[in-house]
Amino acid sequence: MTLVELTDVSKHYGTVRALEGVSLEVHAGEITCVLGDNGAGKSTLIKMIAGLHRHDGGTLRIEGEETTLSSPREALDRGIATVYQDLAVVPLMPVWRNFFLGSEPRKGVGPFKRLDTDLMRRTTREALLRMGIDLRDVDQPIGTLSGGERQCVAIARAVHFGAKVLVLDEPTAALGVKQSGVVLKYVAAARDEGLGVVLITHNPHHAYLVGDRFVLLRRGTMVGHYTRDEITLDELTQQMAGGSDLDALRHELQRG
């Protein structure tokens, strides 16, 4: 099923053409990768899907229905959850409080209405476990987790609160090789839960590990749109780097 479909969308900021003629499909249980170097328009694309910016041209369809998103809240209500690079967590708060922040379950009546802390702790633990994250202690401040783990908690949170589409903004950008692998596993776990995933990255190696569809952006335009069986990793890398950064990339690929 096509959850989100962009057809020939464009976005202009005044006289600046940020994005032109981009088409993209997100299917349930699939990962759509958006690849591009810095300044290619990845962030603009993500902001349109997340509801931060409206698109100027083309069409945006959510579950087949043509629409415009006017706020992040609206996107969330329609099941599109975005996990940004600078993650929305409160470092000094325990993992379980962060997990439910803004949607806290309560029990009791009147002035005795209180947080259902047992349920919150247990649910956090179970939701993380379901994604394959075995956390030692959900009471530890989330700031004590590594960047990769925090990313994983954010993903598990989106899955738990019923997101249909998960948009991930460079989830592996600030991480080491091993941590990146861990995060990609959780991305795959989210896909197996039946979510449609949009993975924004500038790393074709990471993209090819998990991606089902690939959208390549360069300087605000779409330069390619492939399904997995239409392209090999080498071709993807070639397309993306345009040859110039190839040596550096080859080096990176050899390590993984």
Partner 1 sequence: MTATVERGGDTTPEAPKTADERILHSSPLRKLLTRPELGSVVGALAVFVFFAFAADGFLRASSLSTVLYASSAIGIMAVPVALLMIGGEFDLSAGVLVTSSALVSSMFSYQMTANTWVGVGVSLLVTLAIGAFNGFMLTRTKLPSFIITLGTFLMLTGMNLGFTKLIGGTVSTKTIADMEGFPSARAVFASTLTVGGVDVKVTILWWLGLVALASWILLRTRTGNWIFAVGGNEDAARAVGVPVAKTKIGLYMGVAFGAWISGQHLLFSFDAVQSGEGVGNELIYIIAAVIGGCLITGGYGSAVGSAVGALLFGMTSKGIVFAEWNPDWFKFFLGAMLLLATLLNAWVRKRAEATK
Q: Which stretch binds partner 1 (CB under 8 A): 22-30, 57-65, 108-116, 164-172?
A: 108-116
Answer for which of 21, 57, 91, 256 binds partner 1 (CB under 8 A) is 91
* Distance of closest approach, residue 192 Cβ to partner 1, in angstroms: 5
Tell me if 93 contacts partner 1 by CB under 8 A.
yes
Q: Distance (Å, rounded) from C-alpha 88 to C-alpha 102?
A: 11
Tell me if 88 contacts partner 1 by CB under 8 A.
yes
Tell me if 89 contacts partner 1 by CB under 8 A.
yes
Tell me if 177 contacts partner 1 by CB under 8 A.
no
In angstroms and rounded to an integer, the radius of gyration of the C-alpha atoms of the chain is: 19
Q: Distance (Å, rounded) from C-alpha 217 to C-alpha 2?
A: 21
Tell me if 141 contacts partner 1 by CB under 8 A.
yes
Tell me if 114 contacts partner 1 by CB under 8 A.
yes
Tell me if 57 contacts partner 1 by CB under 8 A.
no
Answer for which of 54, 130, 219, 250 binds partner 1 (CB under 8 A) is 130
3-state secondary structure of 6: strand
Q: CA-based angle 63:68:73, to the nearest 5?
A: 85
Q: Distance (Å, rounded) from C-alpha 11 to C-alpha 14?
A: 10
What lies within 8 Å, CB to CB, of 228 at 6+ separation is 211, 212, 213, 214
Of 41, 24, 47, 34, nearest to 202 (Cα)? 34
Q: Which stretch binds partner 1 (CB under 8 A): 62-70, 93-101, 235-243, 248-256?
A: 93-101
Residue with tokens 């899955």: 159
What token pair was written down for 44? Answer: 């603009």
Give the phi and the psi of residue 174 in degrees, each rounded to 5: -95, 10
3-state secondary structure of 213: strand
Answer for which of 67, 146, 227, 232 binds partner 1 (CB under 8 A) is 146
Query: Nearer to partner 1 by C-beta: 141 or 224?
Result: 141
Q: Distance (Å, rounded) from C-alpha 51 to C-alpha 60?
A: 11
Tell me if 72 contacts partner 1 by CB under 8 A.
yes
Answer for which of 31, 168, 184, 215 binds partner 1 (CB under 8 A) is 184
Tell me if 254 contacts partner 1 by CB under 8 A.
no
- Site for partner 1, rule CB under 8 A: 72-73, 84, 87-93, 97, 100-104, 106, 113-115, 117, 125-126, 129-130, 132-137, 140-141, 143-146, 149, 152, 182, 184-186, 188-189, 191-193
